[in-house]
Amino acid sequence: MDKSYTYNKPDEKRSGYENTAQEYWPPHHCHKDLANLDPAPLMRSERAELLEAIASEQRQLKNAQRQIEILQEKNACLKQKIIRIAKKYADTRRYGSHDELTGLPTRSFLRERLKQTIVLATCQQRQVGILFIDLDKFKNVNDTWGHAAGDKLLQEVAQRLRVCIRHGDTACRYGGDEFVVLLRDIDGYKTALAVAEKIRTCVAGPYVIEGHVLDLTVSIGTSVVPAEGQNCEDLINQADMAMYVAKAENSRVNPV
């Protein structure tokens, strides 16, 4: 590379300046030489480094927030799925334990509830009653006005049963036109017969079904635990037999 030199002026020499040559690089040589140098990392200021660090943190925070949003979306979907499954499970259990037509508990539900009630009543030295209810001449309704009218009548009877039973008692559809009411915590036949008479009066008499006025009577048989033993099947069977006796004697309500 070409170099140029300058020297002290004569008057500078006389005044005592040393004869010191200074290297001088012309501008065009500087640019040319800088172009031939290997690139080196530039020194950055602390401010630039801080800004870059902040930007990096913001990117990480944004990514984290997005991950949280994704998890929240998945959690919401999972929650809805669990709700649907739980509802389906509850519906399945309800359809298994409740009659689809009337909405009342079924025979299987009655048996389980009766077993539990008998155990509790035995511990508390109380009594449990069963009312076995049959709709008189229900077949005539189906034969005369059709099964749709019969189904509507069953629904109306079930609704009246819900209204007139005592709090804590359980009304079930046992099958066909038969209903059973489980009486909890009674003093004996006196209480059972009083409730049976109330139900007979409430359920009987006229229904308006699809424009037809239907007069209805019911026959009710009663049984009480522990008078008939501790077995729930025996208790139901005893009430069933008492109901047939009431129907045959036209007495409407009959104890065992």
Which residues does the annotation mark as catalytic?
177
DSSP H or E stretch at residue 256: none
Closest CA to 185 of 130, 121, 235: 121
Question: 224-243 burial, b for 16+ CB within 10 Å, e for fewer?
Answer: bbeebeeebeebbbbbbebb
DSSP 175-193: ETTEEEEEEEEE-SHHHHH
* Amino acid letter, 196: A
Tally the residues of the chain: 256
> For residue 2, what are its two tokens?
């070409």
| Residue 136 burial (C-beta neighbours within 10 Å; 0-12, 13-18, 19+) | middle
